Amino acid sequence: MDTAAPARYLSVFDELLARREEHIRLCAGGGKDRISELPDDLLHLVLRRLDTRSALATAALSKRWAHLHRDLPALEFRVTDVIPQSDRYHWYLHRRRTLGERRRPVRDSTLNKFDVIIGRYERHAMRSLASSVNSLLDADNGGEARRRYQRMILEVFPTHNSGYMNRLIATAIADWEVQDLEVTVLDTTSSHNGMGYRFPHHCFDDTMFPAGCSLKTLKLTNCTPLEAVAGGELQPPRVFGSLTVLVLQGMPRSTRNGVYEGVVHACPRLEVLHLRSCSFREKSLSIDAPCSPVKELLIDDCDIDMVYLRSLPRLERPACVGGEPVEFSFGAVPRLASLSLSFYADVNERTWYTTLMGMRNEYPLFNFLNRLPELDSLMLRLTGPERWLVPIGLKADSPLSKLRRLLVADMPSSWDLTWTRYLLEAAPALETMHIHVASGTASPGRRVAWPPAEFKHRALRELVIVGYKPSERQHEEFVSLMRSTCVALRDVALLERGHVRDKGLWDWELMT
C-alpha cells in the first residue's frame, strides 16, 4: 500500500504560491500580467468556475485578487474536492463497495482492512479542509472587510473534531448572513453508526440576531436539526426562527420520531418540509401542529408505513413518493387541494407477516383513499410487476366527491385498466381523467370481476389514455364502458405513444 500517495500532490494553495513567484519574476523581467488586467466582471466569471478552496487561494496572487472572492454568490467547502480524482482512495472505495455488494459472504477482517485504509485517506482530507476553513475564518478576525454570501455548502466525512465546522456555520449565519445553508455528512462505507453531526445550537444566543436571522433554507443530510435538553425535551432553537424551507435527508433509525414533529414546532415560519430517505423507529410519522404555516410536505423514499397528519391547517400539497405503499390519516387539514402518491409493490414479495399468514402482499384501494379529505387534484403512480391493488369499492361518502382532476400514471401494461372505474364512481364531480399505461410486452394479469351496475357519470368531459392498445380486450372494454356511462363526455384521446411530463409534484402535462 502506498500511504504517501496524497503527499505527491501539491495543494492548491502551494500551486498558486508557485504561480505568484513566477508572476513576480515575469514582472521583474518586463513581462505583463494580462490576466490581472482584465475587468472585475471577467475575473468573477473565472472565480465562479473554480471550487471554493481554489477561489479563496487566489487572494495570495496579488492585491488585485485579494478582494475578488468576497463578491462570490456562494461558498462550497466539499471534502471530495480535496481528494484528487486520480487518487488511490477512489480505487479502495470502489473495491470496498464491490465486496460489500457480493452475494457470497466476505470476511469481516477483509472489510475492516479496507475501512482502515479508506479512513486514513478521509482523515487526511478532513485535516486539509479544516486548515482551509480555519485560514478563512482567521482572516475574517484580522479586520478585513465584512463578507456577504447568499449560499454555503459544507460537505464532510464523519469526524469527532467538529469544532471548525461549528465555527464556520456560526460565522456564516451570524456574520455573513447566509440565507441558504446545506450541510452533508458523507458515509462512504456505511460503517459509521448513528448521526454524523449535530447542528451547533450552542454557538448561538438570543443577542446575536437583533434584526432577525437571515437563514431561510436549510438542508441537512445525516445531521440532526434539534438537540435534547434536560428531561429529554427537544430544544427549540432561535436560529430556526426565520426558516421557510427545511430538508432532512438520510436520518438514521436511531432518530427519535419526535424530532420530525419538533422541527415543525421549532420553525414558526416553515412553509416547506421535505423528508428524504429517512428511517423511522416506530415506522410511523405523526404531526400535530395547529399553529404551523407548513404548506408543502414531501415524504420521499422513507422507511415508513403510516402518516398521521392530525393538524396542519395550512397544508395544501402533500406528496409521498418511492418505496412501498404508505397509508395516510388526515385530521384538520382544511386547505388541502392536491395530493401525489407514488408507490411500488410486488404481490409475490414475501415478508415475515405474509409468509406466516400465507397471504399475498396486497393492499385494498380504500386504505389510501377513504381517509382523504376533500381534494381538487389527485396524482397516482401505483406500479409493480403484477397488480397489487385490490380494487374494493370505496365508501358511499367518499372524500373524492369534489375531485375535478385525476392522473393515473406509469401503470404497468400487465394491470387490468378497468380497475380505474372505482375511482370514477367515487368522484362524481370529476371533469378530467388522464391515464398513462407504461410501455411493455407483459401479458395482461388478473381481471377485475365486475358486478352489474346502473352507473352514470354526468361531469366527466375529458378522457385521455396514453399507451392505449386497441388489440387488448381490457382496453376496449374500458373505452366501451366509458362511452356508455359518461353522458357528458366531449373530448376523448386514445394514444398509443406518449408520456407524462411532471410540472412539479402536483401538476402534469401529457406529451405525445
**pLDDT tens, residue by residue, 8-41:** 334 554 565 566 666 566 555 555 556 666 666 6
Q: Rounded to an integer, what distance in angstroms lies between the CA atom of residue 314 and that of residue 184?
A: 30
Place of cell 513567484: 21
- Domain coordinates in residue numbering, the chain: 383-512
CA atoms lying within 13 Å on the CB side of residue 307: 25
C-alpha cell at 452: 352489474
Place of cell 453531526: 197
**For position 248, what pLDDT does the model report?**
95
**For position 423, what pLDDT does the model report?**
87
Q: How many CB atoms lie within 10 A of CB 407?
A: 23
Q: Specify the DSSP element, H or E, that contains 317.
A: strand 317-321
Q: How many residues does the chain have?
A: 512
Task: Find out whether 386 and 414 touch, Cβ atoms under 8 Å.
Answer: yes
Q: Is 227 helix (H, G, I), strand (E, B) or coil?
A: coil
What are the start-end ranges of the H helices in 83-218?
88-100, 108-141, 163-174
Q: Rounded to an integer, what distance in angstroms lies between the CA atom of residue 424 and that of residue 410?
A: 18
Place of cell 357519470: 457
C-alpha cell at 299: 415524504
**For position 367, what pLDDT does the model report?**
76
**For position 410, what pLDDT does the model report?**
93
Task: Find out whether 215 and 179 touch, Cβ atoms under 8 Å.
Answer: yes
Q: Rounded to an integer, what distance in angstroms lies between the CA atom of residue 412 and that of residue 414?
A: 5
**For position 351, what pLDDT does the model report?**
56
**For position 62, what pLDDT does the model report?**
58
Indicate yes or no: pTM above 0.75: yes
Q: Rounded to an integer, what distance in angstroms lies between the CA atom of residue 213 and that of residue 92?
A: 43
Residues of the chain with confidence (pLDDT) below 50: 1-10, 13, 230-231, 352-358
**How far is CA 199 from each of CA 26, 191, 337, 442, rounded to the nearest angstrom?**
48, 21, 34, 50
Task: Find out whether 284 and 305 touch, Cβ atoms under 8 Å.
Answer: yes
> Between 108-141 and 163-174, two packed helices, what is the crossing angle to 10 degrees?
40
Place of cell 502506498: 2
